[in-house]
Amino acid sequence: MPTNQENGTNTAGPADSLPERAVDDDRGGNGRLTGPKAFETYADDAYGFRLAYPADWLVETEPAGGASFTDPRSSAGATVSIDEDLDLTLADYVAAFLKSLAVDEHVRVLEALDRRDVALEGGGTGRAIEYSYLSDGERWRLTYLFVRAGERGYVLGVDWNDDNDLDDLAAWIVESFAVETTD
């Protein structure tokens, strides 16, 4: 059960182990973000993942597993989706996503910005990709993290309108992602 739900004792809490990363100039003396960019931790014990997200974002648990996070003041958001019985390598998992993105009717002028491996807390490696694209005349950015743990695949996606300048925030969310591996 996700530990951010408000039933019983399962509630979100402050993110105690955020990645060491400089994010804009909103950092407090303890090296953590403060003010509107304070973070909480979302954990889903049933699907074995957790991540830090901005405390002022709205959270919705997805019925098929995963969760959605939405900034109520902007177009920014994040999602975690789960793929059971994944029969793809990590590279093929990323390639399948990019292929679907290339034919998405809302995505135009797709530009690759970065692709890197991300060391996950507790071991394992995920693959992060960053892209820029046009949709309905507006420039958008996305940072996605792909993780394979046993036969389960995880996709953490952070999307925002490029005018919002959330590059560091997206990287922070991606680097906070952790899974309990089953291999």
Q: What is the rounded CA–CA span in Å between residue 183 and residue 25?
A: 40
Lowest mean pLDDT among 1-10, 79-88, 172-181: 1-10
Residue-wise pLDDT tens digits, 114-162: 999 999 987 889 999 999 988 888 899 999 999 999 999 999 999 998 7
Helix, strand, coil tally for the chain in percent (to 5): 15, 45, 40
